[in-house]
Structure 1
Amino acid sequence: MSNNTEFADKVGSCSSSKDHSIVWNYFDKLPLGQDGVKKASCIGCGKVFQANKGKLNMKRHLPECFVIDEPGPPKKRAHLDQVMYREKLAYSIIKHNYPFSYVEHEATRDLLEFLNPDVTPITRNTAEADVLKIYDREKTNLKEKLQKVTSRICLTTDLWSSITSDRYMALTAHYIDDNWVLRKKVLNFKVIRPPYNGKFLAKHMISFLRDWGIEKKVFTITVDDAKYNDVFVKWLNGNLLCDGDFTRVRCCGRVLDLIVQGALKVIEGTIEKVRESVKYVRGSSDRKYKFAECIHQMRSQCGKKVHQDIVTKWNSTYLMLDSALAYRHAYTRLAILNGSEYPAFPSKQEWERVETIIKFLKPFYNITTLFSRNSYPTSNLYFLNVWKIQKCIEDQINNVDKVISEMANKMKKKFDKYWESYSMILSFAVVLDPRYKFKVVEFCFKKLKMTDEVCKTKLDIILKGIHKLYDKKYGILSRINSSTTESSNICVDTLDDLDGFESFTSEFEGEKSQLDMYLEEPELNYKEELDVLQYWKENQRRYPQLSLMARDILSIPIITFASKSSFSFGGRVLSKYRSSLPSSNVEALLCTRDWLFDLEDENENDIEERLAEDIECLFSIPKENKK
């Protein structure tokens, strides 16, 4: 028997008098109308019913508005907002990468109906339509925001091959909003058909930018070292700042990878032995526990995890070597205990070689880690850290250790190929850091092994370049604004009677620009921590035009990490179980996830957890619990 029927029987048996029925606990009697029909309205939803004898229609309605199986005063049943329910369901699909068929799973429907009987089940096609609806809505909102942004927009882009061998082009926007907060938004993740050359990629890019309405706002494009990117950027010049003089930014992470990977080939035999040692230890539970015992016997406790590396990522190889070196005596002890079972044990000379390499590569690892962060500006970090790399390489070229000297020479060739001329636009960023300004550029160049003439030439290039950019695109704004203000003051009263005074006083200062005045001010203490965005936010009234330039330059990403992280999620969206998913759905899922949740790439964290293992702690586990 249904709940409704049981409740109807209960109500009918409570009283023989219709006026004393408990139905009237849930309904209000209405005045008698001209038709003479008695009516009542539900106090829950206001729906009007005829109060006929028996009131069966009213009894049937009660479970829709009230909890009928609980004692006490009437309790209203919360009505399910079907629209909000479907939107929340679509959000869960977007955020957690559930398949659209998730809404048709029997257990999912049982759960939802248990939580609220009013739930109307939906199909996978409806779920797909809801996701695309949210994508269209959020894209419209983001498009409006981008068009209102007063700063310029920096881009990162790269190509990715999916499991179906389709090539996807990822486009990510980076900008600093009016509140001086660094923002990152994935704009496109579209399938690109061949040919994959610079000319056609540029056409796709222009199409994307026009669709977003930001083709006139592009400042820089950060790309890797692929040859087609040279042609790609040239084809975009018609829409770029200063005819594209400052547009191309090479991915610093990729350049660092090329520099170090080539050098590591010098000692690949030693690295391979360490790699096999790590694999050997992590190959079985018995070896792990034995290795943990060796760590404690040799008093090698250091709290580090045993790292396994990804061969194509040199920074993970660095972590592997660093952690292995910390446990070198434990590895020696394990080799003695296991004998011929452990054939890949590095010799004493090879361990010493690893120690030397770790010291040499530590600055490179620290800089790579620094560049990989995208939650705060990194462009102002570029110049000093590239300089540190160059200086480190030059200092080791004549090292008495022939291996280190050979590695440094290989690095020097790669460095000269990609960074012989420091990126012009990124060099400006350190000048706009009030702790350093232009003096640090001069100081750094003089510390390198270059002639005074070469040093002076490089300094002149950077100084003329920053003035060219300011004068052409930012300094002109002050002249336009002051002339506009002057003409408007003739016709209308302004709230500020001294509006235009700043440009008037500049005439008595030898026509100094805001850039000149900023450079002439004393530098701040470089040893103190500084939020460079906060500095320019606080000083934007003093340097209104220069602060605009600072906001644009400080938003430049120095690596393509943002685009590459979208590839990681793209691989999960378009997995082997969803390889037939339309490319439009892939873009909608990936972009909407970024816009709504701005989540970090969990996949990278998962990989790190799988590569690193805390074996040292296993020694404290009782023997009976080890298996």
Structure 2
Amino acid sequence: MTHRNDHIILDDLDEKGQHFESVGSPTSPISPTSNVPTNNNTTLGSNPSVTNKKLKSEVWKIFDRVERIKQDGTKEIKAICSKCGDELAGGPSAGTNHLKRHMLNSCKRKNQMDIRDFQQLGKDKEGNLTTFIYTDANAWNEVVEYLVRAEHPFTFVEKDDFTGMVQRGFTPQYKGFSASTAKRDIMKSFKFYKEKLKSILHAHSGRFCLTSDLWTSRNKLGFLSLTIHYINSNWNLNKRIISFKMLESPHTGYNIANLISEELQYWGITDKIFSITLDNATNNDTAEMFLKEKLSLPLHGTLFRIRCCAHILNIIVQDGLSNLSSSVEKIKDIVRNINSSQARYELYIKCCMELKRNQKNINIDVPHRWNATYLLLDSAIKYKDVLNLYYSHLSQNSRCPLEKIEEHDWMLAELVRDFLKVFDDSTKKFCGVYYPTSCRVIIQLTNICAKFSKFYGQTFGIFDETLDLMRQKFDKYWGDIPLIFGMAIILDPRFKIEELNVFLEIIYNDEVEKIQKTIQSFQNSMTQLFDYYGNAYKNFDIGAQTQNTRSSLSSTSSLSDQEEQNAYHMVKRRREQASSVTSGGLSEFQRYLNQPLLEIDEEGSFDLFGWWKTNQSKYPILSIMAREILSVPISTVASEASFSASGRVVSDKRCGLSPETVEALVCLKDWNLADTRRQEAEQEAELAEVFERLKLERPEWMPRSPPHDQQSTTSR
């Protein structure tokens, strides 16, 4: 599965008006040979008595078109190969595809044809015009890549429909190949690219951050995924799945740690690990303990274990929703009722028409996915008038199964929806692939705690009880903020150490002693890590990494959003301009801290990676620390998966394969997407598709809603 230039074939028209690829080179026609039979033949070429269309196809540089008188006196038109003399149908209705197939496959003298006859102009992946030459090897490589990306079964390549489509629509010389050949090529590609990636990781000068997660399959097999994250010398954040192995039962912490350790040894990076992000299962606590003993970690492993933040948010929200289940159940019930039969759905549509509202399907609830409840409430509240009218019509029947949704029910639903929005936003921000997330945690925790304060005392006692439950769970996991999150925000030149006060005052409700203790802990850890890296990289040549770097403060790959802008301006207002401090005798870390906060435009963007890339020669040791601290992922899953409590599941398309083949397919797909930096978009799209399938499981008679921004208006 080689990586090479793709080409877009430029089409010509044959005499039937059909598109096909050009076969010859207009600048180098082939001279006809003398072995073409001529008895009873009249060469037609572009004779207007036979056809009033010019023969545009390049095949006519190889074939002569002749008219022959048959024994019965009728005429027939033949195409005679100028290379071997074979005769084929040549009439206008015959087309030219069979002539191209003859040239490329059947002609006895095809090896004597000039290679330029098979060259075609096309565009490569960068859009540059180049020459394309068809080969079976290239075609097979492309098909194999497609199988991996689309997760098709190996037998897909043997389907007549697929082979015929390629031959008729793209290139007639495509021969196809067997399922066993496809599998063999995939396994060979996996081995090749695995060794190539191994070399890249070996050459990386820094440390790697890990994420690991357990998957299950329909046939009850457990798989352990292991992914590395790192910032390369060009300050691009990279992600690669390096292992997707079957985990033998029982799934104890020891077995998890043992498998991870074996994989790290194979890849040769046991002494280059910085952190690992895991969910909050007990077996992961045990795995952490065993791994610390086997790995060479900075600061004796105090920064090693990161608990998946998206998973923690999920736990907090699930606890809160369980306490509110009775309060929002009326709204869930009426939505379920609408979806229960065609007659009920038609009544709902009638209500939409009466109120001149768009016909929109209200999101249904999906078990185990808390954001489904958030989306249901959001869409139901927008259609509050329609649902009230629907109940009014339905309640005329004495056997109405629904309870009336009172005004206070709607008010509570709005509170719940508005409160859940900050968790929805935070979950999505925590799950990025190509931007730093570790520096965003404290900002998002500040936003969540501000919502706790805002929503307390909102009339509903049950809602205050819910907030208390959620705050208790919040404090269980984040009462003491992990060191890595404080260190990450210190390495953001917009905030640094002093500005943590602003965030911590909100998170810790102005508990001065706790705020001071937390900041001191962050600062001590930064100093210790700086000393550790200073000793480790004494002789490190940072100059090699700073060549050709330019400022990226207004990069199009902006990582800023409105909340971060607000946070920046909030701390700016509360900080007096730092007085000028001489850098003589100060460490690199102190010089960085003494610099004023970085100011950005009100509407400007900020690329944190770009800033460190530009300033790595000024702060050589800090920039190495930043590359590793800012590459720490704070979630083990894509955001769509993090809304669910049901776990990760291997797709049905793969669960019938051997564990070795499953690993090859999973890794190859991830590596292929990484080349074009589409990993995040792909995994979100796949998970969103699963969610939509669950959400829209409804009778065939029920139409699907258009996207929110493409709602059609119902006419009366």
* Secondary structure of 1:155's aligned partner: strand
Distance 2:85 2:207 in 1: 65
> Aligned residue for 1:379?
438
* Secondary structure of 1:84's aligned partner: helix
Distance 1:375 1:287, change over 3 A: farther
> Aligned residue for 2:24?
none
Distance 1:11 1:280 in 2: 80
Distance 1:592 1:125 in 2: 18
Distance 1:618 1:509 in 2: 61
Q: Once the two structures are aligned, what percentage of the paired residues are identical?
A: 27
Once superposed, which parts of structure 1, at least 4 consecutive aligned residues long, lie more than 6 Å away? Answer: 563-570, 615-619
Pairing of 1:207-246 with structure 2 (within 5 A): 207-237=262-292, 238-239=294-295, 240-246=297-303
Higher deviation after alignment, 117-126 or 162-171: 117-126
1:438 aligns with 2:497: yes
Give the CA deviation at 1:571.
4.9
Aligned residue type for 2:509:
K
1:515 aligns with 2:589: yes
Give the CA deviation at 1:584.
0.7
Give the CA deviation at 1:293.
4.7
Structure 2, unpaired ranges of 5+ = 1-31, 44-60, 63-80, 88-98, 108-112, 120-132, 548-581, 697-703
Q: Residue 378 of structure 2: which of 314, 322, 329 is its match?
A: 322
* 1:196-255 deviation digits (Å, cap 9, x = unpaired): 111221110011112222222211111111011111112111312222110111111111
Q: Residue 88 of structure 1: which of 121, 142, 166 is its match?
A: 142
* Secondary structure of 1:159's aligned partner: strand
Q: Residue 614 of structure 1: which of 688, 702, 705 is its match?
A: 705
The answer as to whether partners of 1:397 and 1:409 remain within 8 angstroms in 2 is no
1:180 aligns with 2:240: no
Give the CA deviation at 1:65.
5.6
Aligned residue type for 1:333:
L
Give the CA deviation at 1:290.
4.2
Distance 1:444 1:57 in 2: 81
> Aligned residue for 1:408?
467
Q: Residue 524 of structure 1: which of 582, 598, 617 is its match?
A: 598
Q: How many residues align?
A: 552
Q: Residue 209 of structure 2: which of 143, 154, 157 is its match?
A: 154
* Secondary structure of 2:227's aligned partner: strand
- Give the structure, 1 or 2, with the largest relative contact order (CA under 8 Å, sep 6 or more): 1
Pairing of 1:364-513 with structure 2 (within 5 A): 364-393=423-452, 396=455, 401-447=460-506, 448-449=508-509, 451-473=511-533, 475-477=534-536, 479-481=538-540, 509=583, 511-513=585-587
Give the CA deviation at 1:563.
11
The answer as to whether partners of 1:335 and 1:342 remain within 8 angstroms in 2 is no
Distance 1:275 1:334 in 2: 14
Q: Residue 605 of structure 1: which of 685, 688, 697 is its match?
A: 688
Q: Residue 253 of structure 1: which of 310, 321, 327 is its match?
A: 310
Aligned residue type for 2:287:
F
* Secondary structure of 1:102's aligned partner: helix
Distance 1:361 1:468 in 2: 39
> Aligned residue for 2:158?
104
The answer as to whether partners of 2:430 and 2:639 remain within 8 angstroms in 1 is no
Give the CA deviation at 1:618.
7.7
Distance 2:669 2:363 in 1: 31
The answer as to whether partners of 1:157 and 1:563 remain within 8 angstroms in 2 is no
Distance 1:365 1:13, change over 3 A: closer
1:127 aligns with 2:182: yes
The answer as to whether partners of 1:289 and 1:618 remain within 8 angstroms in 2 is no
1:198 aligns with 2:253: yes
Aligned residue type for 1:459:
I
The answer as to whether partners of 1:67 and 1:76 remain within 8 angstroms in 2 is no
1:349 aligns with 2:408: yes
Give the CA deviation at 1:312.
1.3
> Aligned residue for 2:74?
none
* 1:426-461 deviation digits (Å, cap 9, x = unpaired): 221111111111122122223433532222211211
Distance 1:480 1:121 in 2: 56
Q: Give the aligned CA root-mean-square deviation in angstroms.
A: 3.8
* 1:40-89 deviation digits (Å, cap 9, x = unpaired): xxx99xxxxxxxxxx99954799446998xxxx99935685222222122
Distance 1:367 1:131 in 2: 38
Structure 1, unpaired ranges of 5+ = 1-7, 22-42, 45-54, 486-494, 496-507
Distance 2:487 2:217 in 1: 37
Distance 1:264 1:320 in 2: 13
Distance 2:249 2:105 in 1: 62
Give the CA deviation at 1:165.
0.4
Aligned residue type for 2:38:
C
Pairing of 1:547-586 with structure 2 (within 5 A): 547-562=623-638, 571=649, 573-575=651-653, 579-586=655-662
Distance 1:94 1:184 in 2: 18
Distance 1:337 1:401, change over 3 A: closer
Distance 1:380 1:263 in 2: 27
Distance 1:414 1:236, change over 3 A: same
Higher deviation after alignment, 339-348 or 402-411: 339-348
Give the CA deviation at 1:609.
4.0
> Aligned residue for 1:498?
none
> Aligned residue for 2:124?
none
> Aligned residue for 2:330?
273
Higher deviation after alignment, 231-240 or 526-535: 526-535
The answer as to whether partners of 1:66 and 1:76 remain within 8 angstroms in 2 is no
Higher deviation after alignment, 122-131 or 600-609: 600-609
* 1:554-611 deviation digits (Å, cap 9, x = unpaired): 1111111159969999856544xx5431111111111101101244123223245443
The answer as to whether partners of 1:289 and 1:619 remain within 8 angstroms in 2 is no
Aligned residue type for 1:335:
Y
* Secondary structure of 2:497's aligned partner: helix
Distance 1:82 1:481 in 2: 48
1:76 aligns with 2:117: yes
Give the CA deviation at 1:310.
2.1
Distance 2:175 2:434 in 1: 41
Aligned residue type for 1:614:
S
* 1:85-118 deviation digits (Å, cap 9, x = unpaired): 2212211211111111112223334445556554
Higher deviation after alignment, 521-530 or 414-423: 521-530
Distance 1:118 1:65 in 2: 6
Give the CA deviation at 1:273.
2.1
Give the CA deviation at 1:317.
1.2
Distance 1:440 1:166 in 2: 48
